[in-house]
Structure 1
């Protein structure tokens, strides 16, 4: 896929890729996001490349809940079952909703907007049997034995991410590709495949799982991917040269793919098993480590999809360089200033995303059998 901006001819100044010394060319007068001097900072979009700001929601980690003993328990923000992809655009400022066509071949079944889905409650502690079963699930789930992903021929839409409608179209295509990629694997693992719902939003959003968010997230209670289009537009329009545009597209693709990874964890029972393990965890540090294992696995599963489709989607050349150096290498808990260590350090994130992208295999995304040093 060409690296130049969609819909515009390449300018004479546009760099074809990394400079001879291996460095990334500047765009405009600013370095790429995550580099020293890269101000003005892009909008805060969670724990990605060094955008600053604090997360207001844990994408897949535990939410505190008090027990009689005072131990914190997770209301884990993963999963969600809906047998349709309903892609809705939400303009929260005027409370209008627009529904796009569902992905072909997927019917509309499950909770409607007027219904309130309920989270799966964590199990009640017993003699340890529940935790043993949960540990077996997270370490030996049949999804790990389904083999490497193969391409579904997913192609990136040739659109500029400068308007709400363009970003919606980009995500609609991407989520359809994710469904086609993962449906067979989930079924091969012996689970029922259901597509998530998708909600577009801007400004602020109220979800059943939390009071607010600074970026894309997956909500267990609403069984929905929440994708924030206004930040995507800001990233795209920050600078007009191909390096920035490549970053914007790769970050949008990665964000949706990793949040979809949380949906896979829900469908396979991994998220429910982790909730039980967190419920029985002896301390907060153990709970946070479990959260990091969940989040790093979602990143790995998301990038397995990207790696499987990198050729037809066009994740090559400058796009691949930008993705490797700024999405893979600059994402981590270090960017959530003052936040908990619940998603994984930059080094851990780079390790797991590279495993997914390079091997295409969920077996290599089994963070639950990894050493603690790999999920720091």
Structure 2
């Protein structure tokens, strides 16, 4: 059954804390104690349980929790032809931690593969809800700009990249084509809601980070043009009933963060020109800046306010959330605002420092508060 996304005023970003059973099974698979098929059965069972829990909690748009992924982004990149999984000397540097060291590197022409893991994952999720007219299955994928950023992450990646793509135009064209084919394959499988997760803009807004990049001869405006070109290249001539949104993140690893800064430096590109219908934005603390840049969001597009943090267990007050939504209506009409968690609960399999019970309490707060605001 084909469904379109329901117009709602509460939402989630998509990743959930990995159950202990899942972490154990992934470790056993890594150590070759169980087969890929046995791991998949564990994943299937736990995803079924998760989707039931999501529906019970009142969510109308559900995900598989990203239970089949190690990372929110790299697993998608590794699924394309022309990409290899490599281990660099360092992981990503966050505020007070360094992640595991993994990356994606070009070894050939980038192309979509019909057995892409995100497509296979979505097909299973769709089967779980296809007979429920009230529920939409969402597939979240890292944005094309994030893919581009990974491929130029360090000197080794750039060196490998230039052997295959001596010019940027060819690279961006192939990234856009591969992504567009993935999105259309998801659509053919029944998907009507695709979210592009994107940390690139979250890094651009960070003045300290950008000072370092500028010292290497990079221009803030030029990199935004490249990110925008990569994302929009994937979004050409898509079906009218396919909802495409984007989530902008400043890093979400083990309850820590990677970047700070308000959205003003990227508003003229991200908000004004990216071909999506909704923006999922972090506004859970002072690092996110104020709502003023939302004035650049075109009329008719939705803004999903990530006011409930997924990083810490303490619950925000409903009163403070209601007040902040009201504040945001200075720039975006209430009918085009929504409430959500600021990010997922486990962008990587390590997860944030919350218990499952605290995770679901956050979601309940989002749902209950939204129902108070949008009666």
Give the structure-2-normalised TM-score: 0.29
Structure with bigger strand share is 2
